[in-house]
Amino acid sequence: MSEDDAASERPSDPTQRAREKADYFRLHAELAAVFEGCRKFDAELRTDLSPDTARDVQRTIAKLEKSRPPEAPLIPPEQAPEATRLLTLDLSTNNYHVYRRPGEVMIVRLLAGDEVDTFYGRLQAHFDAALAGCREDEREAHGWKQNDKVNAYLAALDEITDKLEDRYLREAVRKLGITVLSTQTADEINISFLADHLMGVPIPELVGAASAPPDEPEESDLAWFFKLFALRGLVDGVERMCFFTFLQKADEGW
């Protein structure tokens, strides 16, 4: 794509363009905060998720997703027991519990108490760092143009002060006891980016030797369907999170 073509696809409204940048950084901040545990917090990648537990979590999380109203990520009260069951699975917190089949991976990660505080701190830090870097890069690249739209775009970037706890309804979870489920989906995610860059683990350790790409992979060898579920709630006064990730090789039907 040429520079002119790329420019033509950008939103013409400066505020909308800045907002889309912020949304992109938010999604990447979530990925980093969810998957950096092995690199930053002594989390372990454990292949101890049984087939029965993996399928139970998959079915339950799908049921919870369907139960949400279209306009909000809130789990209805009648589904709260199922959400609580996932939030209190008999698995260690902080670690990544993995179930693998050829071409398919499921990952469960639980956080509780102080670990949730750490997650939100890291989430905000990743977002703030990306936004600050973008502001600096965009000002250096375009600030000299003295163009009204450019100036409005740079000003809109400066005005973004998102507090991601608010976007994730953390205060409502803690004060009102609601349970919330949000999702992030990618038709294709680079498995090297997820394993090597974010998690800091070799790809075969994550997906298994049978599903690992060759030593000199093509782009298609690295493409996996990806869906992340983030369940948040309060159980007996303790804030908890359950992350469920489903991965499937892109050439396996997605």
Each residue's pLDDT tens digit, 39-77? 999 999 999 999 999 999 999 999 999 999 888 899 999
Q: Is the pLDDT of residue 4 over 60?
A: no
Q: How confident is the model at residue 5 (pLDDT cuts 50, 70, 90)?
A: very low
Has residue 86 got a pLDDT over 90?
yes
- pLDDT band of 12, cuts 50, 70, 90: low
- pLDDT reported for residue 3: 38
pLDDT at 148: 86
38-to-95, 100, 241, 247 alpha-carbon distances in Å:
8, 18, 17, 18
The percentage of the chain sitting over the pLDDT mark of 90, rounded to a whole number, equals 85
pLDDT-based confidence at residue 150 (cuts at 50, 70, 90): confident
Q: Mean pLDDT over residues 184-203, rounded?
A: 96
Phi then psi for residue 45, to 5 deg, are -95, 110
pLDDT at 7 over 70: no
Distance CA 114, CA 119 (A): 9
Which has the minimum average pLDDT: 100-104, 142-146, 175-179, 200-204? 142-146
Return the pLDDT at 10: 53
> Do 197 and 61 meet the contact criterion of CB atoms below 8 Å apart?
no
**Is pLDDT at 25 greater than 80 in this prediction?**
yes
Mean pLDDT over the full length of the chain: 92
Buried b (16+ CB within 10 A) or exposed e, 108-137: bbbbbeebbebbbebbbebbeebbeebbee
Residue 6 above 70 pLDDT?
Answer: no
More confident residue, 6 or 46: 46
Stretch 13-36: mean pLDDT: 95
Q: Is 83 helix (H, G, I), strand (E, B) or coil?
A: helix
Average pLDDT over residues 162-186: 96
Q: For residues 139 and 203, which has the higher predicted lDDT (pLDDT)? A: 203
Q: Based on the number of CB atoms within 10 Å of its own CB, is 64 exposed (0-12), middle (13-18) or buried (19 or more)?
A: buried
User: Residue 135: pLDDT band by 50, 70, 90 thresholds?
Assistant: very high
Q: Which domain holds residue 174?
A: 3-252
Above 90 in pLDDT, residue 254? no
Specify the number of domains making up the chain.
1
